[in-house]
Amino acid sequence: MTGSPGRGRVGRAPGRRSGAAEVTRSCLDRVHGAGPDSYACCVIETSGLTRRFGPLTAVAGLDLRVAPGELYGFLGPNGAGKTTTLRMLAGLLRPHAGRIRLAGIDPAEEPRRARSRTGFVPDTPPLYEHLTGRQHLGLVASLYGVPPAARDARAVDLLEAFGLAERADELIKGYSHGMRKKLHLAAVLLTRPRVLLLDEPTTGLDPRSARVLKDLLQEFCDRGGTVLLSTHLLDTAERICHRVGILDHGRLLAEGEVGALLAGGAHGTLEDVFLRLTGEGSETSHAGPGPG
């Protein structure tokens, strides 16, 4: 197991909130409630988590602990095992060995209960293309039992926050990749999960939407939610993540608060630490990416 998770904020700018942050605070007051729920000590916990694809071990004995209110970033080169780990946590892949607990639930024993507390956003989101954006949110809200009296107001808030309000009554099949990702993010937040699992969440987003998402995630964590995201954008991880883990060949090479990782190495940026640990860009870097 890893050590006790740090809870200090890393890189949040002091002073007044941005306009986007004010919108997201109002939005999450509706979507997530006024305060954090009471969770166990670790909301995400894995022990010895392992997954193989034929002869390739994509994730090898991963021990991970993420606390309530924490935004944890997974960093790693292509094929490091990030997506595979997220898919196992989301219940889409069965591990070959090891144990998972999400909000105190074993997904292998109670898959439906675990899924009801978890929101997963893959890099390519699954959507109902012959519905409008607004209809899609309504359908997802119904499937997750969001009360009718609350769902419309929440949907309006989320559509506005992500800049989708003017296109909400158009069919999804006409949406760009970025719009689809924003709609799926809105749908996941609408269900009020305790845990968010995000695979490259800012890919395809315009700068404004990326900023809105960062503010939403920070407010989500402030209210007791927990986020595990993968990203290749090291500057984003350095700014918004409380802790990061650097994954390569399915193994966790290092983890900790960003400041501690920087202080413990001989290099000045998270990118330098990442490149030194993974060997990316050097002649000793591994040859080809495997799954996730």
Contact 163, 182 (CB under 8 A): yes
What does the domain layout of the chain look like in residue ranges?
34-127+195-278
Q: With pLDDT > 90 as the criterion, what percentage of the chain qualifies?
A: 50
Distances (CA, A) of 211 to 40, 163, 216, 244: 30, 12, 9, 19
pLDDT of residue 250: 92
Of the two residues 239 and 60, the one the predictor is more confident about is: 60
- Phi, psi (degrees; rounded to nearest 5) at 44: -115, 125
Distances (CA, A) of 67 to 242, 261, 266, 268, 276: 10, 19, 28, 27, 27
pLDDT, one tens digit per residue, over 73-127 is: 999 888 889 999 999 999 999 999 999 999 888 888 888 888 889 999 998 888 9
- Residue 21 CA neighbour count, 13 Å, CB half: 12
Q: Please tell me what DSSP assigns to residue 282.
A: S
* CA separation for the pair 161, 186 (Å, rounded): 9
pLDDT, one tens digit per residue, over 37-47 is: 434 478 999 99
pLDDT at residue 18 above 60? no
Task: Using CB atoms within 10 Å of the CB of residue 34, give its burial: 0 to 12 exposed, 13 to 18 middle, 19+ buried.
Answer: exposed
Highest averaged pLDDT of the listed ranges 29-33, 40-44, 168-172, 279-283: 168-172
pLDDT of residue 265: 58
Q: Which CATH number fits domain 34-127+195-278: 2.60.410.10, 3.30.1440.10, 3.40.50.300, 3.40.50.620?
A: 3.40.50.300
pLDDT at residue 10 above 80? no
